[in-house]
Structure 1
Amino acid sequence: MKNLILFLVLCPFLIFGNDEKIPSKIKEVTVYLSGANITRTAECNLDAGTSEITLTGLSTKIDESSIQISGLQSVSILSMTYDINYMPLLIDESASRPLSERLDAIETEIAMLKNDISGLQEEEQVIYANRTVSARTQSLSLEKVKEISTYYRERITAIKNEIFKANLKVKQLNTETRTIQKQMAELNNVPEKEQGEIRIKFDAPIATILNLEIAYQVQDAGWIPNYDIKSKDINTPLSLSYKAHVYQKTGNDWNDVNIILSTGNPNINVAKPNLGTKYLDFTNGYRNTNISAAKKKKYVYNPTVKIVTGTVVDESGSPIPGANILIKGTTRGTQTDFDGHFSLNVENGKELVVSYIGSHSAELPIYSSVMNVRLDEDISQLDEVVVIGYGSQTRRETTNAVSSVNVENFLSGKTAGVQVTNGSNIKLRGINSLKGNNTPLFVLDGIPISSNEMSEIDPEMIASVGVLKNLKATSLYGTRGSNGVIIMTTKKSTVQDDITTTKFVIKKPYSIASDGDITAIEINTFKLDAKYEYFAAPIVNENVFLTSTFKDWEQYNLLPGEASIYFKGTYAGKTTIDPYTTQKEMTVSLGIDQNITVTRKQNKNFKSKSFTGSNRILDRKYNLEIKNNKAVAIDLKLMDRIPISQNKDIKVDDIETYAANYENKKGLLTWDLKLSPQETKTESFSFQVRYPKYKRISI
């Protein structure tokens, strides 16, 4: 019976006695653009049979499915679990010891002050007693009485003052005591700290020592590409410093660890895609083959950016006024101005959503303080959105105000409430103006147009038509909508994506605290043989930019990121390096030179509009004036464009490029100019556009 009891007492220790808490150390960290892979090392002694160890002090943000164990030799893993545990923080003795010592000193000082007070009080009582005795036993002269009285008064006053000061000092020391006691209570009342633990159960055929490597992935870490571009002058090579701004808040400091930077994303779905059959049929719109730059780039959130500025353009590169820029998940945002520019405070934001009616929205991480976005047209939006005034509403919101019809019914006059004659003479039934003018207001893609322009619209390009027939028309358009409003939207297009991956092994170890602060790590510095020249494209921006162009940039594995520009030892501003839009050569802007001006003006004396039979003819001529106000000669590349027809009914003829190099497939004009100091030059080009007069185009 005694043996049985002894066995039952020892049984838990026999089963769990080899459960051991094992410390581990971070050996290497692979930092992704978002997230990180941690590799730890640990040593453990295993007895033959079943053993269990616990790796403590780990991050609480481990992806459990990513945990991998290596270095097992002949040992098998029976089970492995990851859990969050809680432990009190250790009291910092270096902080509590001075407080304790000060309390002891205060206690001693208070005791001494109380002794002083007692002594003074005793002396006061002796003086009072002595004064009474002297008065009874001695016959004193008046002068002697005055002398004794003065002494008693002065001494008693001094004693009372000393007692008062001592009591005041004791009070101050008691206040200090309470403050220190509160501080010590706070130190002793330490909250529990979360920590991750990995518990592993092994089966070892023989007793062995394992040197384990444990790898796992965590979030709340990443790195941001960053660059310094430096140039002493336009006659020296360009210096490009490629840097990584690394941050982490994983709960564990990375102390003196090897760092690998990866451009990969461990969260991307790497499953093999399946290719299905493509069925060909007619579509009701034109498909644009351009790939949206906003969609195909692999941008990464940059937590250091506080304000973002940029430009929103359409597929042709023209600015989009009124585009919406919104911080995702909030109501904070702004709109682009007439030139497509915007500026937005993005503090505490992570992504921007850029949208415009009739275009694909672009959702981009806030990766730079300069973000230029191109929006592609979206045909699918037009099936769900009706343009109202200068904004938009869903069909559900406009049920009572809008009767939606397709363009065929609209043109044939089959829509209830709409009367059509001669193809374009339209009125809304029930609306009769006292002045006899019953023509409604026409709005195309949010812009009011005239009835003449209405007659030029190609019906094949209309995706949907809406009719405003109640007070909504006048509330949105005023008296212009008193005869009703015909709202039309045009057909749009679609987009695609891609991806690449690279690793950078950093040569020396780094320590990175788990506080979210940026640690700058230099990847490499390159000396680039660059070509410097000034550049201007006044159709887009009338500023003149100093640019630096270099080749063979692919070998440097660059990523999109901010670049700080230093020219002649002076900080010149920021730009963005974007290798995803770069081809054989990469060009970076080194800033604006205000000493060179370019103006673009249409020649008003040139014939502008005429008609020939069923065609309308537009003639355009532009003059570009360039002035070099610098004290040195410059090389300047000047660019402009001539529109390219994508429709057989639109003819672009009578092209005169004069001294420009003309790339006729793209319609691009280039002048490579040399200007002496204070020299002014004028360049020109002209063209003619011929198209059916019932159509409408935008040059």
Structure 2
Amino acid sequence: MKKLLYLLLLIPIAITANDKKTPSAIKEVTVYLNGAQITRTSNFVLNEGTTELKFTGLSPKIDENSIQISGLKSVSILSMDYGINYLDKFMLMPEATAMIESTKKLTEEIELLKNRISGLQEEELLISKNRQVSSTSESLDLEKLKQISTYYRKRITEIRDEIFTINKEIATKNTAIRDLNLQVKELTSGPAVAQGELVITFDTTITINLDLVLSYIVSDAGWVPTYDIKSENTSSNLQLKYKANVYQNTGNEWKNVKINLSTGNPVKQTTSPVIDTKYLNFVSGYNYQSKAIKKNKYYYNPSVKKVTGVVTDASGQPLPGCNVLIKGTNIGTQTDFDGNYTIVIQRGQELVFSYIGMQTAETPIYASIINTKLDEDNEALEEVVVVGYGTELQGKVAGVRVRGASSISEPKLPLYIVDGIPIPDFTEGDIDTNDIQSLEVLNSYKATAVYGSRASNGVIVITTKKSTTEDDVTNTTFAIKKPYSIKSDGDLIAIEINTFKLETTYQYLAIPIINENVFLTASFKNWEQYNLLPGEANIYFKGGFAGKTVIDPYKTTKEMVVSLGIDSGITVTRKQDRNFKSKSFLGNNRVLNRAYDIEIKNNKNTAVTIKLMDRIPLSENKEIKVSEIETYNANYNDTKGLLTWEVNLNSKETQKERFSYQVKFPKNKHISL
């Protein structure tokens, strides 16, 4: 029994003897737009049997599910446990440890100096005693006594001067110790520091040397695309420098490690969706149908401290009074009459745009210029129009049958137009109310004028929703050749990715209805091959800083155009011709005549070619008629209502352009030109 008890006591001792902290080092980091993958290496020997190793000093922000281990050879892992340990700061800070060591060294030096003082004081005491003996000696003549006294006086003075100097040195060292202690206190004050720990239990049948590779995903790290666009003159090609502002606050310093930059996002939801059968039944009121989750193309940029931009509707019209709020805060502003806004970013990572009748939009703060378009709130429209339209139409048009509305049996049925196509045998259930974007009822008089005799019983015009998809660019990884050291403090570190020479076309652009300045623009094609992401760009022209712009490949089609700034050497003015302006009435309609004169002048010493643009309004309502259009020298896109001139001006030359149109609409209504 005693022998068995002895063996049982030995077993835990043997296992504990194998437990030990194992050092590891960060060798490579793949930084994503949001998050980072850390790769650590560790070399150690495993003895035969079961061994528990503890890897300390890891980040406290590890996604436990992302931990991967390779390099095991024939070794098995029995268990793995990740946790967080809270340690005193001085245990983790080499600066504090070095200061404490310096304090110890200074203290030792002070003790040595004090020993020197003690020796000097003993010498002074001995000299004093010898002086007393010498003064009482009768064998010394007067001259000899003077010499001895002079020596004693000189030596005692030297001793006291040396003691004074040593005391000054001690005082200096004491001051240094006090300063170091204050710095250590400042560094180590506050709560304990969190550090991640990973405990792994290995099992092996042989003694083996392992080169273990440990990788995991951490949060609170990322990179932000940024660009430098440089041009020497309008005859040279653009130079595009693609850079990354890398930041991390993971709890570990990355010291001299290999950096990879990835356009991927490891924290995205990767679980595939599941679709079930949908069963139909009668519903009452508005039946909400959840929308598909969309992909987010933009990522938070911690370097942005102020954001400006314009908020418009889908047609490009500015939205005055739109609320702009930093999500999660009470910091906000409103757009002015032209839809412009400016907001200072004190904290928060997303902006929220809200406007009555429009869908609320949220976007990460990815640049200092964020222009936003808001779509109509179709769900609110459905609640007002579609949900009640069954009952409403039953009182207006016979035989309306759409899911959610009861049928009324009438011999005369209206004509249904769905997405512009007549549906002669429209029946209940053909369209779900959730799929309807808008609905319009035309009485027989209006309907016959548009659709002919088949619409004599009226027309119901239904427009259904159109689904949209958003695709991310293919994930790309940039391997940075130079190793970097990045502290865990959240500061931005600029890393150059690549530099490209772009075949560039320069053009002067003037749109005086929007801005009475002439801008120099540069455009280039085939930008897709460079794997660009949305980001801010610093513009340098002719060796000077020309301003900032935003590169957004998601909003770019064939050509990417960047503005190089305003050229004050070219002026443009746009004025309404007051002599042509008129207002009259024709029956039940009001008639407005408008004409505009544009003058553009080249004050430069060289000839220039300018792209001049303006617009003629288009009607979205058949009661509003735009006619009598005179475009003169302009190229007119009647689909978009845009006017374009190519103006060639010699030095000091001036040119004038003109256009006009007429608008007719019911006199009891109002429009905004």
The Cα shift of 1:244 comes to 1.1
Query: Aligned equivalents of 1:170 and 1:668: distance in 2?
Result: 88
The Cα shift of 1:4 comes to 3.1
Return the TM-score normalized by structure 1: 0.71
Identify the residue that residue 262 of structure 1 maps to in structure 2. 262
Aligned residue among 654, 663, 683 for 2:657: 683
> Alpha carbons of 1:89 and 1:645: their partners in 2 closer, same or farther (altered >3 Å)?
closer
**Contact 1:536 / 1:639 at 8 angstroms: preserved in 2?**
yes
> Alpha carbons of 1:22 and 1:317: their partners in 2 closer, same or farther (altered >3 Å)?
same
**Contact 2:259 / 2:484 at 8 angstroms: preserved in 1?**
no
Aligned residue among 564, 567, 570 for 1:593: 567
> Alpha carbons of 1:639 and 1:94: their partners in 2 closer, same or farther (altered >3 Å)?
same
Identify the residue that residue 27 of structure 1 maps to in structure 2. 27
**Contact 2:35 / 2:221 at 8 angstroms: preserved in 1?**
yes
Query: Aligned equivalents of 1:231 and 1:171: distance in 2?
Result: 62
Query: Aligned equivalents of 2:166 and 2:43: distance in 1?
Result: 59
1:177 maps to a residue whose letter is N
Query: Aligned equivalents of 1:369 and 1:520: distance in 2?
Result: 18
Query: Aligned equivalents of 2:313 and 2:251: distance in 1?
Result: 44
Matched, 1:617 2:618: no
Query: Aligned equivalents of 1:224 and 1:309: distance in 2?
Result: 19
1:624 maps to a residue whose letter is I
The Cα shift of 1:108 comes to 5.0
1:228 maps to a residue whose letter is D
Query: Aligned equivalents of 1:321 and 1:374: distance in 2?
Result: 13
**Contact 2:636 / 2:642 at 8 angstroms: preserved in 1?**
yes
Identify the residue that residue 200 of structure 2 maps to in structure 1. 200
**Contact 1:231 / 1:568 at 8 angstroms: preserved in 2?**
yes
Query: Aligned equivalents of 1:301 and 1:562: distance in 2?
Result: 12
1:683 maps to a residue whose letter is E
What SS does the aligned partner of 1:17 have? helix
Matched, 1:51 2:30: no
**Contact 1:532 / 1:547 at 8 angstroms: preserved in 2?**
yes
Query: Aligned equivalents of 1:554 and 1:104: distance in 2?
Result: 66
What SS does the aligned partner of 2:64 have? strand
Query: Aligned equivalents of 1:381 and 1:173: distance in 2?
Result: 80
Aligned residue among 670, 674, 681 for 2:644: 670
The Cα shift of 1:698 comes to 2.4
Matched, 1:78 2:75: no
Identify the residue that residue 374 of structure 1 maps to in structure 2. 373
> Alpha carbons of 1:91 and 1:633: their partners in 2 closer, same or farther (altered >3 Å)?
closer
Gaps in structure 1 of 5+ consecutive residues: 134-155, 285-294, 386-407, 409-458, 462-492
The Cα shift of 1:22 comes to 2.6
> Alpha carbons of 1:17 and 1:509: their partners in 2 closer, same or farther (altered >3 Å)?
farther
Identify the residue that residue 174 of structure 2 maps to in structure 1. 177
Query: Aligned equivalents of 1:296 and 1:566: distance in 2?
Result: 33
Identify the residue that residue 571 of structure 1 maps to in structure 2. 545
Instruction: Show CA shifts across 1:392-420 (max 9, x none).
Output: xxxxxxxxxxxxxxxx9xxxxxxxxxxxx
Deviates more, 1:27-36 or 1:370-379: 370-379
Query: Aligned equivalents of 1:568 and 1:182: distance in 2?
Result: 51
The Cα shift of 1:573 comes to 1.1
The Cα shift of 1:509 comes to 3.9
**Contact 2:223 / 2:246 at 8 angstroms: preserved in 1?**
yes
Matched, 1:327 2:300: no
Query: Aligned equivalents of 1:27 and 1:173: distance in 2?
Result: 45
**Contact 2:106 / 2:173 at 8 angstroms: preserved in 1?**
no
The Cα shift of 1:209 comes to 3.9
> Alpha carbons of 1:523 and 1:178: their partners in 2 closer, same or farther (altered >3 Å)?
closer
Identify the residue that residue 498 of structure 1 maps to in structure 2. 470
Identify the residue that residue 238 of structure 2 maps to in structure 1. 238
Identify the residue that residue 103 of structure 1 maps to in structure 2. 107
Identify the residue that residue 510 of structure 1 maps to in structure 2. 483
1:77 maps to a residue whose letter is I
Query: Aligned equivalents of 2:296 and 2:513: distance in 1?
Result: 26
**Contact 1:378 / 1:494 at 8 angstroms: preserved in 2?**
no
The Cα shift of 1:631 comes to 1.4
Q: How many matched pairs?
A: 563
> Alpha carbons of 1:629 and 1:69: their partners in 2 closer, same or farther (altered >3 Å)?
same
**Contact 1:225 / 1:562 at 8 angstroms: preserved in 2?**
yes
Identify the residue that residue 42 of structure 2 maps to in structure 1. 42
> Alpha carbons of 1:2 and 1:174: their partners in 2 closer, same or farther (altered >3 Å)?
farther
Query: Aligned equivalents of 1:384 and 1:122: distance in 2?
Result: 108
> Alpha carbons of 1:516 and 1:494: their partners in 2 closer, same or farther (altered >3 Å)?
farther
Instruction: Show CA shifts across 1:529-569 (max 9, x none).
Output: 11101111122222211000111111111111111111111
Identify the residue that residue 359 of structure 2 maps to in structure 1. 360
Instruction: Show CA shifts across 1:653-683 (max 9, x none).
Output: 2211111111111111111111111111111
Identify the residue that residue 143 of structure 1 maps to in structure 2. none
> Alpha carbons of 1:587 and 1:99: their partners in 2 closer, same or farther (altered >3 Å)?
same
Deviates more, 1:240-249 or 1:187-196: 187-196
Gaps in structure 2 of 5+ consecutive residues: 137-152, 286-293, 385-391, 393-438, 442-464
What SS does the aligned partner of 2:14 have? helix
Instruction: Show CA shifts across 1:566-622 (max 9, x none).
Output: 111111111111111111111000111122122222221114322222222222222
Identify the residue that residue 89 of structure 1 maps to in structure 2. 92
What SS does the aligned partner of 1:694 have? coil
Instruction: Show CA shifts across 1:113-160 (max 9, x none).
Output: 6887899999999999x99x9xxxxxxxxxxxxxxxxxxxxxx9xx99
Identify the residue that residue 452 of structure 1 maps to in structure 2. none
Return the TM-score normalized by structure 2: 0.73
The Cα shift of 1:368 comes to 1.4
**Contact 1:542 / 1:599 at 8 angstroms: preserved in 2?**
yes
The Cα shift of 1:697 comes to 2.6
The Cα shift of 1:190 comes to 6.4
Query: Aligned equivalents of 1:574 and 1:517: distance in 2?
Result: 21
> Alpha carbons of 1:169 and 1:670: their partners in 2 closer, same or farther (altered >3 Å)?
same
1:298 maps to a residue whose letter is K
Identify the residue that residue 144 of structure 1 maps to in structure 2. none
Query: Aligned equivalents of 2:524 and 2:124: distance in 1?
Result: 91
The Cα shift of 1:239 comes to 0.9
Instruction: Show CA shifts across 1:3-60 (max 9, x none).
Output: 3343133111333433343322323322111111122233343444433322222111
Identify the residue that residue 61 of structure 1 maps to in structure 2. 61
Query: Aligned equivalents of 2:600 and 2:565: distance in 1?
Result: 18
Supply the RMSD in Å over aligned alpha carbons. Answer: 4.2
**Contact 2:322 / 2:354 at 8 angstroms: preserved in 1?**
yes
Identify the residue that residue 302 of structure 1 maps to in structure 2. 301
Identify the residue that residue 342 of structure 2 maps to in structure 1. 343
Deviates more, 1:211-220 or 1:60-69: 211-220
The Cα shift of 1:173 comes to 4.5
The Cα shift of 1:85 comes to 2.4
> Alpha carbons of 1:239 and 1:187: their partners in 2 closer, same or farther (altered >3 Å)?
closer
Query: Aligned equivalents of 1:97 and 1:627: distance in 2?
Result: 74
> Alpha carbons of 1:241 and 1:164: their partners in 2 closer, same or farther (altered >3 Å)?
closer
> Alpha carbons of 1:269 and 1:670: their partners in 2 closer, same or farther (altered >3 Å)?
same
Query: Aligned equivalents of 2:169 and 2:260: distance in 1?
Result: 57
Query: Aligned equivalents of 1:100 and 1:122: distance in 2?
Result: 34
Instruction: Show CA shifts across 1:475-513 (max 9, x none).
Output: xxxxxxxxxxxxxxxxxx999662414212324142232
1:156-235 paired onto structure 2 within 5 Å: 173=170, 177=174, 180=177, 183=180, 193-235=193-235
